[in-house]
Every structure is written in C-alpha cells, then in structure tokens.
Structure 1
C-alpha cells in the first residue's frame, strides 16, 4: 500500500466524522432556536456511515436527540427522541417515525407531598412514596396510568407504622386524587403512549409519524 493510499484511509474517516459533527451541531442549534423550553443546546447524533454518503442522498437511518428542559411548572425533564428514516424535504428534515421519552427525576416531582417526603421506584415499575404522619412512617406504592392525555397515580399498596393499610381508603385516595397531570402539547406532534417508572424517575413515552425535525 502506498503512502498516499494509507493517508487517505486515515484521513477520509476523520473528515467524515468532522462533517458529521458539524451537521449535528447545526441541527442542535436549529432545534434549540425553535424549542424555548430547552436548557442549553441539545445533543444530536446522526446515525449511518459514511455520513457524507447519507448527506449526498439527503437521508439518514436514525437521528437521536437528547436535551434537558424545564416545564412551565418548573419541573426538570430529560428528553430523548429517536427518529428513524430521516430524509431532507422542503429545506428541512422529516422522520418517518419517532419514539420519545420525557423523564422527570424524582426530586422534581415531590411538590405538595410535604416536608421530608421522598419518591423512588419500587422495582416493579411503580412509584413508592414515603412520608411521615405524626412522627410515624407512611409508605404508599402507586401505579402510574395514562388515560388519553391525563396521568394519574393509583395507590395499590400502603403501610402505616409498618402495618398494611387499605390503599383505597378515603385519606390515601383523596391525597392522590389531586396528583393528576394533564400532558401539554408535545413537540413535533408526538402523542403520549404510556408512563413508566425506573431509577431515573417517571418517564412519559410518546410516538409520532412524519415528524418534522428542522
């Protein structure tokens, strides 16, 4: 192999990656300019190699966007959006489909639960709420449910001072009746599909078709 050929084998992938990074930066800046709830510039990853071939065709297999945002209520949210079959159209880009997750960490969801209340995952996809009443511990496990655009928490287990109590009792039911949240309009016309709970927090999942990226 000649020296020139060897240099090309090294230089071409590097140049391809530089071009991809520049494109990712440009897309991120355009998204940030359109979505004012974002905290800083999102991270964009364009899938497919070589990038320049995809750019010449105006099509990429995947584009992933990660961003931090703050809701109107002041809650922090981490958004992850995976777009598939992204193609250039009308001066911008559209994706054939998209799956998204909007995760609120537990420490941003405790408002209204009282001082000292903590939230965590119970390991089975449900939310564990721990607080105190008259100096005694109260633990409630609630299942998140999505009905249309409304998220509600339904108590399924509870204990007070270490003893099981009825999660459907009037006091517990009343406390969780006010915890309903109406999902606002999501970016790019995404539609809520389900809610999940894990160690990262509570995640709203959403999906969309024919999604406009920039």
Structure 2
C-alpha cells in the first residue's frame, strides 16, 4: 500500500483530534464559567427561587476571553425579590461583557413579571384599600369594597422617569361608572399615580424602560449601557 494515503489519514486524524480536543477544552471552561455565573446570580440577587441558568454565547469561548470581552451572556431564574417585591420569570441578557476588572456590560436588558398578588399588596399598602387585581385584556382590573360599596377600577401600568406607575383608567362604584374627578378627594388621591417601587431595586446603570400587562401580571423591561457588574460575584 502506498504510504501517501496512510500519512494523509494520520495527518487528517491528528487535525480532527486536535480540533475536537480544543472544542472539548473550550466547552469545559465555558461550562465552568457558566456555573460560577449561576453562583453570582444567587449571591447578588435576593429571594432567588429555583436554580438559575446561564448561557454564554459565541464560539470559541477562549478566544473571547483572550480578546477581553464575551459577546453575549444570558441568564434566567424562576423568581427573585426586587425591593421586597416578588417577581417571576426573570431573564437577563448582557452583551460585550468584560473579562477583567472593572467588570462591565456594554449593554444589558432585564425582564421580569410582577404577579397580580405582588401588585395587590403594594396597592393595599399605599391606598389602605382592600382590593384584588386581576388581568382584563391589556389592563388590570381592581375590585374591592369601599365603605361597604363594591368598587371596580381599570388600572393601566406605565413607565415615567424610570418609575413604574399604575393609573386609574376607569372606575365604577356600585356598578355605576364615575369619573375619578368626581370622587371624594381623599379617595381620588389614593387611586392616582400609584407607584410600584421597583426602581431602587434595579442594578446600578439599569433603568426601567417599559411595562405591559401579561397573563399573570405586569411584565417590566429595564435596560442600560456600560453597566457595572458587582465584584462580589465569584
């Protein structure tokens, strides 16, 4: 047999093994970093529910490390607490994450859902009204009793100056529609611009940018650029 094909086979095999070995090494290191990122989430967020997941995008990983930044880092956690407010289905997406101090992300987006139960408690604390909220299409519906009379109000979430506000869209008392302006001042002031205090609970450099009603509550989005990443992370 000619030695040519044998040598060629050995060379090709060596290349395949080398590439495969590099791939395995690359994925092992990436997996280790992902696990440490999970630990960072658990250390730096309050009230973590479930086991977070982290995925580092881009290949090869080691090349990104040598370059000094990771293309894309995404994470998900079932639940956390934002300023004492339970939030669910939290997702994090960060791009251009530096691999040396000071750790920063070129851009970052955080999304989370505030369940109606969380909103109930906040509204009750701020208004002293015993009401329950539910989802009604693209608005929230608050129902309860005021002075023994059934109250029903449509609530619309909005973001203003980085604050999450809930405004009364329409209101009915005892089944009769009324305007907020016609309500007693003490009651009307309680129902105007109710703030859901999540602003202070967001990481530095991240600002609330959007809010929409979803099936189980209010889905918020917060974004930022040149976001500092806590150095307490392992």
TM-score by length of 2: 0.70
Q: Is the 8 A contact 1:129 1:140 kept in 2?
A: yes
- Unmatched segments (≥5 aa) in structure 2: 1-8
Separation of aligned partners in 1, 2:225 and 2:99: 15
Residues paired across the two proteins, number:
208
Separation of aligned partners in 2, 1:168 and 1:144: 19
Cα shift at 1:133: 5.9
The 3 A distance-change label for structure 1 pair 46 and 38 is: farther
Q: Is the 8 A contact 2:170 2:179 kept in 1?
A: yes
Which protein is richer in helix relative to its size? 2
RMSD: 3.3
Separation of aligned partners in 2, 1:13 and 1:57: 18
Separation of aligned partners in 2, 1:179 and 1:128: 14
Aligned: 1:190 with 2:206:
yes
Aligned: 1:24 with 2:34:
yes
- Unmatched segments (≥5 aa) in structure 1: none
The match for 1:156 among 166, 169, 194 is 169
Partner of 1:211: 227
The 3 A distance-change label for structure 1 pair 181 and 134 is: closer
Cα shift at 1:170: 1.6
Separation of aligned partners in 2, 1:193 and 1:10: 44
The match for 2:46 among 33, 37, 47 is 37
The 3 A distance-change label for structure 1 pair 143 and 7 is: same
Partner of 2:4: none
- The structure with the larger Rg is 2
Partner of 1:65: 75
Separation of aligned partners in 2, 1:23 and 1:93: 14
Cα shift at 1:167: 4.6
The match for 1:54 among 47, 51, 64 is 64
TM-score by length of 1: 0.75
Cα shift at 1:103: 2.3
Partner of 1:88: 99
Report SS of the residue matched to 2:59.
coil
The 3 A distance-change label for structure 1 pair 51 and 165 is: same
Q: Is the 8 A contact 1:145 1:151 kept in 2?
A: yes
